[in-house]
A and B are shown apart, each in its own frame.
Chain A
């Protein structure tokens, strides 16, 4: 069965960087685009980034562009998200989600991980 397990969250000081990871199993990882979606405490879902099946195409939300880098290692079935210059508004739960398609704009997020909590605080 499809499993997505996020890790790397924690308490981080403003201005520092953090690397989140998502370990995928139960499907052919290199055939699907992958997303990061976050949710601030008590708020709605906010899409963060997407990467195509082969890593050749990526898109970012305007709110994080320039501070976030998404990457994947298809040999290890992992998806990463590096967030730099962390701000208070980056606090929240970060989910990785599988796209139903290999392309980045046409599918839907059919499987989600349980999320990893990031708290930006001094």
Chain B
């Protein structure tokens, strides 16, 4: 049972927009910024978004993030086949004194 809750799966057709939610609490998302990671099949995770909505250099602007209260969201617009991957949210939890990840969401491009 992850501290951060994500839907196990999401899907969309090429060109569509998909959002992935990440629900936490006042001890984590409610007071800390959220980061998102993308893990393509068989590869190491890669930083996708940091500080709720900032894109590292090289990440397409099709990826965007938002946060409200104790929940965060990752949006992927203009879906492409190469976006098929597992996506994880993460943040620091003050109560646990630990970094926490969401359980991950597998994104399928139909």
Q: Is the interface of A mostly helix, strand, loop or mixed?
A: strand
Q: How many A-B residue pairs have CB under 8 A?
A: 60
Question: Shortest distance in angstroms between B97's beta carbon and chain A's nearest beta carbon?
Answer: 6
Binds A, one of B14-22, B67-75, B100-108: B100-108
Instruction: Assess whether B63 is interfacial by the CB under 8 Å rule.
Output: no
Look across to chain A and name the residue whose beta carbon is closest to the beta carbon of B50.
Answer: A108
Q: How many residues of B contact A (CB 8 A)?
A: 26
Look across to chain A and name the residue whose beta carbon is closest to the beta carbon of B92.
Answer: A105
Look across to chain B and name the residue whose beta carbon is closest to the beta carbon of A4.
Answer: B44
Q: Given the known A-B contacts A45-B104, A47-B90, are A35 and B99 also in contact in the complex, defined by CB atoms under 8 Å?
A: yes
Instruction: Assess whether A11 is interfacial by the CB under 8 Å rule.
Output: no
- Identify A44's interface contact among B32, B92, B99, B101, CB under 8 A: B101
Interface residues of B (CB under 8 A from A): 2, 32-33, 35, 37, 39, 44-47, 50-51, 56, 86, 88, 90, 92, 96-104
